[in-house]
Amino acid sequence: MRILYFDTVSGISGDMTVGALLSLGLPFDHLQDALQRLGIGGFAVRSSQRSINGIDAVKFDVDVHDDAAHHHHGAAPHGHTHRTFRTIREMIQRSSLDDAVRHTALSIFTKLAEAEGKVHGMAPDDVEFHEVGAIDSIVDVVSAAIGFHFFGVERAYVSVLPLGSGIVRSQHGLIPVPGPATAELLRGFTTRMEGEGELVTPTGAAIVAALTTPDGVPPLRITAVGYGAGQKTFADRPNVLRLVVGETEATSERERVVEIHTNIDDYNPELYDHVFDRLYEAGAREVWLTPVHMKKNRPGVLLSLLCDLGQRDRLAAIILNETSAIGVRYHDVERIVLPRETREVQTPYGTLRVKVARTAEGNLNLAPEYDDCKRLARERGVPIKLVYQAALVAATRQ
């Protein structure tokens, strides 16, 4: 299984995350091309090398050509663009980003909207983002999602988070460090009240909350290390975020998850696509429908999902809000999963990713990424089954 470890020696922000992903080996051209699928203009991205206390790190910047706010790690915002979560969600949903990238980016923003909504006592859809609603922060979030999936990460972990100290100025006035939304996002994560200034930004906290688990990182074989540079200079630590990619050595892994179910027989089936999107954006591991017969011989469906324990209440609330269900049931389950990794393979139709799982006996399960197959089939004008078959052949040979 491919693991991504966030070593937050100086906290985390959106731009530091993207810089570290570029340092790990995310090609800048790939990032630029993928960002074009976001379907918005008014910005350009650039990266530069920085030496932070002798550490070679990458600084990621977004140059905005409108009045959007700039709020990178250790820098104050320069003006404000207000966007509601509803607007940002529609922007990302309309984009031509790969499905997995779109779902991950929306999951990050969903976490942030829910935290801001709780702090300000309003519905997540109505939350107005200021610094985080600016184009540069949207690009940071989407870029982080692009890098996460480029490396085929199966699970991510985070170190103890230093939260900083003091008072910072926000759109709402002076607030304590960590900010209220940041503190809300990091419920369940291990933190330290140390450091100067704001070390974990709301964007960084949302990335942590959406992508990582607070459990301890398992033993792994390190395959790559990258450093993302922050803007400010600190006296007590290098302002870098270290990302470590590695492979777990275990032949299988046991994990505990929550399974949620509800029976539905009076809901428009056309709307399940939207429900699935909402659930995946909020962190569901798997979502599925099963045909069932209910009372009075009415046909219905069993809506089921798997999630981490900390996401149970949030996902149950989405089901109750979005569907006609008036209750859900849940139970803890334990499952055994094979170690997995994602490899890129070359086919006559182009490069795509294949998920590889290995059993204890050494047998391989190969699964070409559907989004890649669909994209290449459309670009080349061929049936998707041919792309899928070519991916299997290439992966088997490799």
Q: What secondary structure letter does DSSP report for 163? A: -
Residues 136-165, mean pLDDT to the nearest whole number: 92
Let me know whether 125 and 208 are in one domain. yes
Let me know whether 210 and 302 are in one domain. no
Taken as a whole, the chain contains a residue count of 398
Let me know whether 128 and 195 are in one domain. yes
pLDDT at 79: 42
Let me know whether 238 and 310 are in one domain. no
Let me know whether 299 and 358 are in one domain. no
Q: Give the tens place of pLDDT for each residue, 288-321.
A: 999 999 988 899 999 999 998 778 988 999 999 9
Run of H or E including 245: strand 240-248
In 10 A of CB 321, how many CB atoms? 11
Q: Give the tens place of pLDDT for each residue, 61-97.
A: 999 875 444 444 444 444 445 688 888 999 999 999 9
Radius of gyration of the chain (CA): 21
Yes or no: say if 339 and 252 are a contact pair by the CB < 8 Å rule: yes
Question: What is this structure's pTM?
Answer: 0.70
Q: Give the tens place of pLDDT for each residue, 200-218.
A: 999 999 999 999 987 778 8
Structure tokens belonging to residue 155: 């699970």
Count of the separate structural domains present in the chain: 3
Which has the higher per-residue pLDDT, 39 or 254?
39
The range of the structural domain enclosing residue 378 comes to 340-397
Residues 247/252/257/259 CA torsion (nearest 10 deg): 130
Q: Give the tens place of pLDDT for each residue, 181-199.
A: 999 999 889 999 888 889 9
| CA 206 and chain centroid, separation | 9
Let me know whether 286 and 349 are in one domain. no
Domain boundary among 248, 264, 296: 248
Let me know whether 34 and 161 are in one domain. yes
Yes or no: say if 161 and 10 are a contact pair by the CB < 8 Å rule: no
Output the average pLDDT for the chain.
88
Let me know whether 324 and 365 are in one domain. no
Let me know whether 133 and 276 are in one domain. no
Q: Which of 47-51, 105-109, 231-235, 270-274 has the lowest mean pLDDT?
A: 231-235
Q: Domain containing 388 — which CATH number?
A: 3.10.20.300
Measured CA angle at 116 (ends 275, 137), to 5 deg: 85
Let me know whether 321 and 195 are in one domain. no
Q: Domain containing 315 — which CATH number?
A: 3.30.70.1380
Domain boundary among 217, 248, 279: 248
Let me know whether 109 and 150 are in one domain. yes
Report strand pairing: 220-229 vs 240-248: antiparallel
Instruction: Pinpoint the alpha helices (H) of the chain.
Output: 14-24, 28-36, 85-94, 99-120, 135-150, 180-185, 202-211, 272-281, 312-322, 370-380, 384-397
- What CA–CA distance (Å, rounded) separates 163 from 191? 7
pLDDT at 336: 83
Let me know whether 68 and 152 are in one domain. yes
Residue 260 pLDDT greater than 90, yes or no: yes
Which range of 112-121, 160-169, 281-290 scores highest in mean pLDDT? It is: 281-290
Domain boundary among 248, 267, 283: 248
- What CA–CA distance (Å, rounded) separates 110 from 39? 20
Q: Which of 87-91, 130-134, 253-257, 304-308 has the lowest mean pLDDT?
A: 130-134
Q: Give the tens place of pLDDT for each residue, 2-32.
A: 899 999 999 999 999 999 999 999 999 999 9
